[in-house]
Amino acid sequence: MNSGRFVVFEGPDGAGKTTAMTAVAGRLRETGREVVQTREPGGSTGAEAMRSLLMTETLQHAPVLSQLLLITAARVDHLDTTILPAIQRGAVVLCDRYVDSSYIYQCRLGGVPLDVLDQLNTLLKIRMPDLRLFFELPAAVALSRMTARAEKNRFDLHNEERWLELADAYRWRAEQAPETVRRVNAALSLEEVVTQCWEHIHESG
Ligand code: TYD
């Protein structure tokens, strides 16, 4: 595994993907690899500015299609200025959420036809990940982690029903586009989760 790689971490809130991603990045760096840790929406100066806009009250109420177009605009900036140059240098890019989140949040849950996003991705030549790690866990585990992180209010905002809907949408996406998906049992300890990610990264290339 010495050429550039593009690995994304996906999963519902409370799955622990950000913590696991940071630990995986540390282990990869110990082997001498250059690792670029990034996230979506965001990950570059322009894309972070678009993320701030997306998080405003006004944009939260915009049509979902407008949100998707802005997320895609941010993705183009992120790809051009952060992801693609890093892959070309031979780095491993670890990204917290990517196109699967758009298929899940804007298409499956938000009602934008899948075909719109498929076509946008094709037209804009959006680089697809080499590996997509899907974090799976029961609602009760996610809830207790979010409570421990004092994010209870945020969870309340989305509520358990919404969380279950999201987890279901992740299962749908994993079945609908399974090619580079590897499932991660995110209910286990951080160390065991990191080991699963590590094995998937090594097995996939
Ligand atoms: P963030 O606080 O980064 O979420 P998390 O910590 O759970 O990763 O917020 C990102 C939000 O953006 C999250 O609610 C999912 C949403 N999102 C989309 O709706 N579509 C997308 O394409 C992406 C990348 C994220």
Cα–Cα separations (whole angstroms), residue 185 to 64, 139, 188, 201: 31, 13, 6, 15
pLDDT tens string 10-27:
999 889 999 999 999 999
Give the mean pLDDT of 92-115. 98
Task: With a cut of 80, say whether residue 94 has pLDDT above it.
Answer: yes
Tokens of 57: 């009250």
Q: In angstroms, how far is CA 107 from the centroid of its own chain?
A: 15
Query: Could you give the CA distance from residue 36 to residue 59 in angstroms, rounded to a whole number?
Result: 29
Tell the residue number behind the tokens 């992180």, with chain if given.
149
Task: With a cut of 70, say whether residue 121 has pLDDT above it.
Answer: yes
**Closest to 121 measured CA to CA, from 103, 104, 133:** 103
Give the mean pLDDT of 143-165. 74
Residue nearest to atom 6 of ligand 1 (CA): 13
Residue nearest to atom 22 of ligand 1 (CA): 102
Q: How far is ligand 1, taken at its centre, from the CA of residue 190, in Å?
A: 21
Q: How far is ligand 1, taken at its centre, from the CA of residue 32, in Å?
A: 30
Tell which one of 21, 99, 105 to mutate to probe ligand 1, the residue whose CB is within 8 A of the most ligand atoms.
105
Q: How many CB atoms lie within 10 A of CB 191?
A: 9
User: The pTM is what?
Assistant: 0.94
Task: With a cut of 90, say whether residue 53 has pLDDT above it.
Answer: yes
Tell which one of 19, 66, 101, 133 to mutate to probe ligand 1, the residue whose CB is within 8 A of the most ligand atoms.
101
Q: How far is ligand 1, taken at its centre, from the CA of residue 71, in Å?
A: 10
DSSP 33: -
Give the mean pLDDT of 74-82. 98
Helix (H, G, I), strand (E, B) or coil at 171: helix
Give the mean pLDDT of 73-91. 98
Sequence-ordered strand ranges (E) for 19-173? 35-39, 92-96, 131-136
Q: Which atom of ligand 1 is nearest to the CA of 102?
A: 22
